[in-house]
A and B are shown apart, each in its own frame.
Chain A
């Protein structure tokens, strides 16, 4: 009996490997990668739908430019490696356009500008200067512009602050609420969303970095996606749809 069971395991397993299949290459659908855990740019709503500004813009552009998209949720750190490896076609996850990233991928025209906000606890009595001075611990998400700003403008210039990195921003905010760190540095729109949900924290101030967000594709744009994205954005802005989406997600 046991031998038959073992045989069944072998056979069913081989079957599964064959049928679970390799993902089809060469479909006319573009795969959009996003770290879907960063409201209001991208998150999962209660019905399990992928929602947010980035994703809606991607959908609208796809409609206007006549291609299909498939949105996949990927860890932020894995998006650019995946684009380079050809796993995904478009990265749409609130990426700040930086010279370093521009070396390995190609960016669309900027679609959003943002500054960095410094979050503190309401009862901490800190302000934007004291929160980022000697001996403080500041949290940020790994691989983000906020983390890079702390490193370049404070630590490398000799200010002795400690930078603590997290897998996602909500964990950094949670650690702030739990009094384990003194401040969190995060993009402004997401910070406003955090403050709206978590009453014990507030925005101490804004660091004007004027950074711009862009969608990204593989270096050299082998599939010719960038012109479509740029054209689609221009069309959205001309039709007024763009302002509708901004109002929907940022309440401006």
Chain B
């Protein structure tokens, strides 16, 4: 294959790969969003809930963290049919990977919440705030700041886990790449482009998170947080 052929192949491969990349991105955003919402509630329940609540959440979190992502995908996709309803491949991927991510994210937020001094909660309660008000106004805003660095880790790893969704029929980036490879027998070239796209998404996502981290940092209080790529405290 000559250089010109390769350039043409790269050029013609871009639209389908972009289409796949979009699906990968949609999947990542949806499952991270779901994991975020569920994960925060789980973390709050685990820290502040009664014994049965926190026991239940611990079981949930252990369950979803101990099963391989691929097995969870199959359980949701094929399993749903046995319960009389049919999840589409995309939705079952969002749910399976989203529940899994919620378990991981619950631990990120639990760590962040627990690192806020207990005295703050007591002080808030003394001032007459309800427990809910104290969590919403005092604990969560601080916990969020602390949760961003480990959360960027979750983003980076979940982004790549979405490639497993092909097994239940979601046509995402890696699958679009395989279509081209089957037709052209140029695996190296195509996989390199796919790798570059994943790298770009990971880099861009982490840059945005670093930017947010810098934006919401409290000046003079969390100085060390600024020294990171994409951070904006120093700027």
A43 touches B182 (CB 8 A): yes
Give the residues in chain A near B141, CB-CB below 8 Å.
Answer: 2-3
Give complex CA distance A164, B22 in Å: 34
The reply to whether the CB of B168 lies closer than 8 angstroms to some CB of chain A is yes
Contacts of A170 in B (CB 8 A): 178, 181-182, 185, 187
Q: A36-B179, A170-B185, A170-B187 are in contact. Are A73 and B34 (CB under 8 A)?
A: no
A6-B178 Cα distance, complex, nearest whole Å:
38
The CA-CA distance from A176 to B91 in the complex, in Å, is 37
Pick the interface stretch among B76-84, B149-157, B199-207, B218-226. B76-84
A166 → chain B closest CB, angstroms: 12
Chain B positions 63-99 with a Cβ under 8 Å from a chain A Cβ: 74, 77-78, 81-82, 85-91, 94
Q: Determine whether B183 belongs to the interface, using a CB cutoff of 8 Å to chain A.
A: yes
CA distance A6 to B16 in the complex (A): 34
A152 at the interface (CB under 8 A from B): no
Closest to A9 in B: B33
In Å, the complex CA distance between A146 and B40 comes to 50
- Specify which chain B residues have a CB less than 8 angstroms from the CB of A38 in the assembled complex: 182
A74: B residues at CB distance < 8 A = 168-169
CB distance from A8 to the nearest CB of B (A): 10
The answer to whether B36 has its CB under 8 Å from any CB of chain A is yes
Q: Assess whether A73 is in contact with B82, with CB atoms less than 8 Å apart.
A: no
Q: A16-B30, A38-B182, A39-B182 are in contact. Are A73 and B175 (CB under 8 A)?
A: yes
A107 to chain B, nearest CB (A): 21
| B216 interface contact, C-beta 8 A | yes
Q: Which of A79-87, A97-105, A127-135, A153-161 contacts B (4 or more CB under 8 A)?
A: A79-87
A-side contacts of B179, CB under 8 Å: 36-37, 43-44
| Separation of A95 and B60 alpha carbons in the complex (Å) | 40
Name the distance in Å between A51's Cβ and chain B's nearest Cβ. Answer: 10
Shortest distance from the beta carbon of A58 to any chain B beta carbon, whole Å: 17
Please report whether the interface of chain B is mostly helix, strand, loop or mixed according to DSSP.
helix
Chain A residues, CB < 8 A from B81: 85-87
Chain B 148-178: CB-based contact to A (< 8 A → 1; otherwise 0)? 0000000000000000001111010001001
CB distance from A188 to the nearest CB of B (A): 18
Given known A2-B141, A2-B216, A73-B171, contact A48–B166 (CB-CB < 8 A): no
Closest chain B CB from A158 CB (angstroms): 34
Give A100 to B141 CA distance when docked, in angstroms: 59
Contacts of B211 in A (CB 8 A): none
Task: Let me know if B86 and A87 touch, CB within 8 A.
Answer: yes
Are B144 and A2 in contact (CB-based, < 8 A)? Answer: yes
**Quick one: CB contact mask for A164-186 with B, threshold 8 Å, 1 for yes?**
00001011011000000000000
Do residues B169 and A78 form an inter-chain contact, with CB atoms below 8 A? Answer: yes
Against A, the Cβ 8 Å flags (1 = close, 0 = not) of B20-46 are: 000000000010011011001000000
Contact (Cβ within 8 A) B182 A81: no
A22 x B183 contact (CB < 8 A): no
User: Which residues of A from 19 to 35 have beta carbons under 8 Å from B?
Assistant: 20-23, 25, 33
- What residues of A have a CB within 8 angstroms of the CB of B89 in the complex? 72
Knowing A20-B90, A22-B86, A73-B175 are in contact, say whether A44-B78 is a contact too (CB < 8 A): no
Q: Is A75 among interface residues, defined by CB-CB distance under 8 A?
A: yes
Q: Do B77 and A87 touch (CB < 8 A)?
A: yes
- Is A9's CB under 8 angstroms from B37's CB? yes
Q: Which of B78, B180, B182 contacts A85 (CB 8 A)?
A: B78
**Pick the contact of A23 from B87, B183, B185 — CB < 8 Å?**
B87
**Chain B residues near A (Cβ < 8 Å):** 12, 15-16, 19, 30, 33-34, 36-37, 40, 74, 77-78, 81-82, 85-91, 94, 136, 140-141, 144, 166-169, 171, 175, 178-185, 187, 216
Across the A-B interface, the 9 shortest Cβ-Cβ residue pairs:
A44-B179, A85-B81, A23-B88, A37-B182, A13-B33, A85-B78, A74-B169, A197-B185, A86-B81
